[in-house]
Amino acid sequence: MLNNTRLLFIMVCLLASTCIVNAQSPKQQALEAKRLKFKKELAQLNTLLFTDKKKEKSMLSSVEDLNYKVSVRRNLIRVTNDQANLLTREINANQNEISSLRDQLKELKATYAAMVVKSYKSKSEQSKVMFLLSSDNFKQAYKRLQYIKQYANYQKEQGELIKVKTVKLQELNTDLLRQKKDKDQLIVENRTAKAELEIELKQQEKLMASIRKNMSSYASKIKKTQQEIDKIDQEIDRIIKEAIAESNKKAGKSTTSSAFALTPEAKLVAQKFEANKGNLPWPVEKGVVKLGYGTQPSPIDPTVKIKNNGVRIATEKNAKVRAVFKGEVSKIILIKNSNPIVMLRHGNYLTIYKNLSKIYVKQGDIVETNQEIGEVFTDSNGESMLGFGIYKDSNSQNPAYWIYKM
């Protein structure tokens, strides 16, 4: 006879099997979040970089934009593939679970049917009384009474267990249908994404073929642009060191130090800035990172290295630039042949906003988080590119670690 302990064990196993199936849901949720992120990024890329076809971009800029789009598209395809593969594994697990449950239900129903027949044959109260009265002694009669109760309870428990397993089987079947529908949708989306990627790769190859005809000229342009950027970054480094020396002089500290000597108030601001690492708002409302932090090969000529002390964010025309954290306007930087730069100080942290056309603040102003401090410059080709950097004392930081979902 199936006792209560064994029944409890089966119920626990049932619950565990449910948890195993459901435990994969967070994996799907994480992949879906990534997929939606890449889809959103592609939509933003199309809006910010590929909408205005009337504007003729430079060949270099067109290649950079297309390379970036291809990269995001490939990421989308990869994540969608991962989702489809995970769904395949979950579908297989569910199908195995359904088969197992059907076998268990078949066995349970057969056992339950046999009990019902047996109970029917000995259902009269007279039979039970005679069964008790035929006992040799009181102890045996008591045991027989317990047996009758246990048998009745067992019948009831078997019925409940059949109900539980039936409901579980229905849930698994429903989940299986949903999973198959989701997988079919992902396959369709991936097929479309791959077709779009093929078109983009052909466009990419066409552009690169034109560039290869005069590679030395384009490589020279890239090097010249990088030299101009390096000159601006060197000037920013000089101004930061100058600001540190001036601040430390006022505090009566060493002017040769490469770090800010912080007052208690400035230390508190720096701690709050650090506490928001990974959650700082974007410096523009809409934007995509067209060039990331650090040294990387040029998409045109891999032998030419591009160094970036921050990130370059493609945004919309005349986009408003916002402070990513409360701070003081440390400096408005004006460099010859370059657009204005705003430097904000947050304790011993600095945020840099390059390539502005308009500035709404002045040196010494205290600005709040998300306060508009200027506008991004839009060039003759309709491109709006914000250079954004974060420094701790005189050391540049990767903004992707600081800005929310960058």
Nearest one of 158, 115, 149 to 131, comparing CA atoms: 149
Domain of 356, CATH number, reads 2.70.70.10
Percent of the chain exceeding pLDDT 90 equals 45
Confidence (pLDDT) at 23:
41
Count Cβ atoms below 10 Å from residue 346 Cβ, excluding itself: 22
Q: Check whether residue 110 and residue 22 sit in a common domain.
A: yes
Q: Check whether residue 378 and residue 264 sit in a common domain.
A: yes
The pLDDT of residue 277 is above 90: yes
CA distances from residue 80 to 75, 177, 181, 185, 288 in whole angstroms, order as listed: 9, 19, 14, 10, 21
Taking residues 266-270, report their average pLDDT.
95
Q: Among 147, 180, 212, identify where a domain stops.
A: 212
- Please check whether residue 283 is in contact with residue 322, taking contact to mean a CB–CB distance below 8 angstroms: yes
Q: Which helix (H) or strand (E) is 391 found in, with range?
A: strand 384-392
Q: How far apart are CA 221 and CA 227, in angstroms?
A: 10
Q: DSSP character for 261?
A: -
218 compared with 292, residue with greater pLDDT: 292
Q: DSSP character for 403?
A: B
- Please check whether residue 384 is in contact with residue 316, taking contact to mean a CB–CB distance below 8 angstroms: yes
Q: Which helix (H) or strand (E) is 294 found in, with range?
A: strand 294-297
Query: What is the residue range of 278's domain?
Result: 222-401
Q: What is the mean pLDDT of the chain?
A: 84
Q: Check whether residue 296 and residue 203 sit in a common domain.
A: no
Confidence (pLDDT) at 119:
58
390 compared with 381, residue with greater pLDDT: 390
Half-sphere exposure for 40 (CA within 13 Å, toward CB): 11
Q: Check whether residue 191 and residue 93 sit in a common domain.
A: yes
Q: Among 163, 178, 212, identify where a domain stops.
A: 212
The pLDDT of residue 176 is above 90: no
Q: How far apart are CA 55 and CA 65, in angstroms?
A: 14
Say what the alpha-carbon torsion angle 351, 352, 356, 362 is, to the nearest 10 degrees: 60
Q: How far apart are CA 364 and CA 350, in angstroms?
A: 14
406 within a domain of the structure (yes/no)? no
Nearest one of 107, 73, 314, 102 to 200, comparing CA atoms: 73
Structural domain tally of the chain?
2
Taking residues 279-299, report their average pLDDT.
93
Backbone angles phi, psi at 319, to 5 degrees: -60, 145
Lowest mean pLDDT among 109-118, 275-284, 396-405: 109-118
Taking residues 335-349, report their average pLDDT.
95
Confidence (pLDDT) at 276:
97
Confidence (pLDDT) at 3:
47
Q: Among 169, 187, 212, identify where a domain stops.
A: 212
Confidence (pLDDT) at 148:
64
3-state secondary structure of 82: helix
Q: Are strands 294-297 and 372-376 parallel, antiparallel or unpaired?
A: unpaired
The residues, any chain, with a CB within 8 Å of residue 211's CB and separated by 6 or more, are 59, 63, 218, 300
Taking residues 283-312, report their average pLDDT.
90
